[in-house]
Amino acid sequence: MRFGTTMAASAAFLLTAGTAAAENWDLPAAYPASNYHTEILESFADSVEENTGGEITITVHANGSLYKGDEIKRAVQTGQAQIGERLISALANEDPLFGLDAVPFLASDFDSARRLYEASKPALVDLLAEQNLHFLYAIPWPPQGLYTQQPINSASDMEGVTFRAYNPATARLAELTGAVPTQIEAAEVTQAFATGTVESMISSGATGYDTKLWEHAEYFYDVQAWLPKNMVFVNADVWEGLTDDQRSAIEAAAAEAETAGWAKAEELAQWYKDELAANGMTVEAPSEELKADLTAIGETMTEEWLASAGETGREIIDAYRGN
């Protein structure tokens, strides 16, 4: 925090003094460099540099290389990194609001995910502000499906199956099917499957593709259960230390990145599934029974979410549903 303020203050001083003070920010990210989220972080960084006339440059550190996924938010809150990207729903233990976009079947296509985002954004921005973070933008993952080694026809087929979770909701869902969840960051997924630590997971076609999951799992059930989002945020002290022009330059780059990201996710959703199939996986829709079982679990989890998220949660869901 202190570091951020000092940096920003000295940058502001140098600027007033008429010297171009270039500030370089570190941006820790949890996903591989070739993933579209990370590619968009790179183009966001280019736009920031361009829009600020080189006053602010950003170095993207992909794949948990600077901080692991579960360390990124704290690193930015404390000013160890100026800016970062994190999967919102991974933070659901801190506040239920972070878990909203991973409630199964609440919003399971791009249009609904967009409306859910719009309904929840003001509360998300405020929550982050209370945590010394300035929210910039959020981009979805493609719809989530079930990866397994054995055919799964109903939720009870998951009984006793080891399962990779990436947030509290995936762990809860696993638990409700009788599967055995372990929390594992995307960067460690390939290894976790290769060593037999886990044998199933729920994720997008994107992460199955990035981790070459066809080497370790045979089936992808295209359940389309929800579309979780990554978000990008800046340390609030660093943000406050910027000039108005710098802030608008960054907001403009963020808006551009967000639009590009939503389009990219939608454009790639089918492509990823085609790649899974081309690499030998059986990619299919869930059976009626599996679908019904997971829908029932989704209803339970929606109730649980509403019970934990109180009045704010109820208002967001009402706004989303147009009540």
Binding site for ligand PCA (CB under 6 A): 87, 141, 166, 186, 203-204, 206-207, 228
Q: Tell me the closest approach of the beta carbon of residue 228 to ligand PCA, in angstroms.
A: 5
* For ligand PCA, the closer CB: 141 or 233: 141
Least Å distance, CB 171 to ligand PCA, is: 13
- Cα dihedral 276/281/283/289 (nearest 10): -140
3-state secondary structure of 281: coil
Instruction: List helix spans (H) across the chain.
Output: 2-16, 36-51, 72-77, 110-130, 168-177, 189-194, 205-210, 236-240, 244-278, 288-321
DSSP code per residue over 53-104: TTSEEEEEE-TTSSS-GGGHHHHHHTTSSSEEEEEGGGGTTT-GGGGGGGST
Instruction: Give the nearer residue to ligand PCA in terms of CB position, either 87 or 155.
Output: 87
Tell me the closest approach of the beta carbon of residue 223 to ligand PCA, in angstroms.
Answer: 12
> Residue 206 CB, nearest distance to ligand PCA (Å)?
5
- Nearer to ligand PCA by Cβ, of 77 and 204: the residue is 204
* Owner of token pair 């972070």: 98
CB 88 within 8 A of CB 228: yes
Measured from the CB atom, is 116 or 238 closer to ligand PCA?
A: 116
- Judged by beta carbon, residue 56 or residue 87, the one nearer ligand PCA is 87
Closest approach, Cβ 316 to ligand PCA, in A, equals 21
User: What is the distance of C-alpha 240 from the center of its chain?
Assistant: 25
